[in-house]
Amino acid sequence: NAGVMQNPRHLVRRRGQEARLRCSPMKGHSHVYWYRQLPEEGLKFMVYLQKENIIDESGMPKERFSAEFPKEGPSILRIQQVVRGDSAAYFCASSLLAGMNEQFFGPGTRLTVL
Amino acid sequence: QQPVQSPQAVILREGEDAVINCSSSKALYSVHWYRQKHGEAPVFLMILLKGGEQKGHEKISASFNEKKQQSSLYLTASQLSYSGTYFCGTERGQTGANNLFFGTGTRLTVIP
């Protein structure tokens, strides 16, 4: 029973390039959450998605960031025209149900922008 | 909306006890506790629902006081493996708002 999978685990991009982070939730989970963690800081909520729908994107920067969770395939967090400040660990979590439910975290993608 | 954790850091000797607190200025619907080791993903410890419940898992337990909008994590007879950063995550409890707001974290170091 595979857990939450994220790839790549490490991603290096130059300023101005695009970064695509993938997340495959646990089998049977249809709720996906993306969090960002800066070094030595806590996790900050970015976006909550259910299959094909964005439920809450209140934590997403207004520009350059987008997320999707298609009917088939993994959830994608896309960062366009990356800047140095985007360097962080991006974690994806999934849950079976909405609300009052354990969120299982993936191993994270560590993005470094040169 | 970010909950506040205290203390920020604590150092324990093996076998000692610790309490980590998490408080919020907003009404709490549930509280989730996670432990994260350096460079790794957060690992779920337990979830507490409103109603003042307590939960325990071996030597780690927690309480949730809905009225005071706070939760406490109790670690007894600490082991070296308990070292890590502990985060509480809170839910707002509104429809569609299932994301967690995480506290600033408490760094726990257990030494021999």
Question: What backbone torsions phi and psi does residue A65 show, to the nearest 5 degrees?
Answer: -105, 140
pLDDT attached to residue A34: 96
pLDDT attached to residue B6: 94
> Is the pLDDT score of B58 beyond 80?
no
Residues 6+ apart with CB under 8 A from A73: none
Task: Name the band, by pLDDT with cuts 50, 70 and 90, for residue A86.
Answer: very high
pLDDT tens digits for B36-50?
998 898 999 988 887
Average model confidence (pLDDT) for chain A? 93
DSSP state, residue B82: G
Instruction: Give the pLDDT mean for A39-54.
Output: 90
∠ CA A56-A20-A36, rounded to 5°: 50
Q: Which of B30, B41, B49 is facing A91, going by the closest CB pair?
A: B41
> Is the pLDDT score of B19 beyond 90?
yes
Q: How far apart are CA B73 and CA A7, in angstroms?
A: 32
Task: Name the band, by pLDDT with cuts 50, 70 and 90, for residue B112.
Answer: very high
Q: Give A41 or B74, the one with higher predicted confidence.
A: B74
pLDDT attached to residue B49: 81
User: B41 contacts in A (CB within 8 Å)?
Assistant: 91, 105-108
To the nearest whole Å, the CA of B37 is away from the closest chain A CA by 11
Instruction: Give the pLDDT mean for B1-29.
Output: 91
User: B2 contacts in A (CB within 8 Å)?
Assistant: 42
B103 and A42 within 8 Å at the Cβ level: the answer is yes
Q: What percent of chain A has pLDDT over 90?
A: 77
User: A91 contacts in B (CB within 8 Å)?
Assistant: 41-42
pLDDT attached to residue B29: 80
CA B22 to mean position of chain CA atoms = 7
B47 and A101 within 8 Å at the Cβ level: the answer is yes
